[in-house]
Amino acid sequence: MRHSRSIAGLAVAAFAVASVEAAAQSRQPFSLQASGGWVFPTKDYGDVLQSGSTPGWELQGRYTFGRFSLGVGYQRSTVFKSDAADLTGTISVGFVEPRYVLTVLGERVAPYVAGRLGYGALLIRETPRVTTTSFTYGAGAGVMIAVAQRIAIDAGGQYFVADFGGSGGTAGYFLARLGAAVGLF
């Protein structure tokens, strides 16, 4: 009898967790999100290339269903430059980003975890122009904060890896992001 009560209690708890609406993520199934961010390369490119933190941006469309959300978007970030050699390395990536809301705090705050899989290029501006393509992958976490019926603020971070072969090699990047999501319908 005690064993069946434990199973019933676990089933009720699992149902309650699964049925929670992720109100802070998006109150509408379809949304657009724009974010600015700072990219921190984890690879040292040597004395000639400066690889400190640099600004970047991303834009994505999202479809939300319950606690899950799937985004498709584009990210562009400068990851290194050299004033002496007059060149710049920029990551240009299309991506898919699934998210899962861990819990909803109150009606407005939703911490989440996310993965990311993308394909794009390292664009090196020099003469001649060099472009190397690669798959990218990573994961991160963040928090969505609803500020109005159709608007939420997204603050998060993510670590992603790209292998650009001879041009840039394999490198990891940390992206700190701040953006806004607007529910469409």
Tens of pLDDT, residue by residue over 68-85, are: 999 999 999 887 777 776
Task: Indicate if the pLDDT at residue 118 is higher than 60.
Answer: yes
Q: How many CB atoms lie within 10 A of CB 178?
A: 13
Structure tokens at 80: 């290194």
pLDDT digits (tens, 9 = 90+) for 134-144: 899 999 999 99
Q: Is 160's pLDDT higher than 50?
A: yes
Higher-confidence position of 16 and 28: 28
* Local confidence band at 94 (pLDDT 50, 70, 90 cut-offs): very high
What residue segments make up the domains of the chain, in order of their start?
23-183
- Statement: 23-183 belongs to CATH 2.40.160.20: yes
CA distances from 90 to 48, 132, 139, 142 (A): 16, 11, 20, 24
pLDDT band at 52 (very low <50, low <70, confident <90, very high): low
Q: Looking at this protein, which amino acid is placed at residue 167?
A: S
Spatial contact of 106 and 139, defined as CB atoms under 8 Å apart: no
Q: What's the whole-number average pLDDT of the chain? A: 80
**Mean pLDDT, residues 45-72 taken together:** 83
pLDDT band at 46 (very low <50, low <70, confident <90, very high): low
- Estimate to the nearest angstrom the gap between the alpha carbon of 121 and the chain centroid: 17
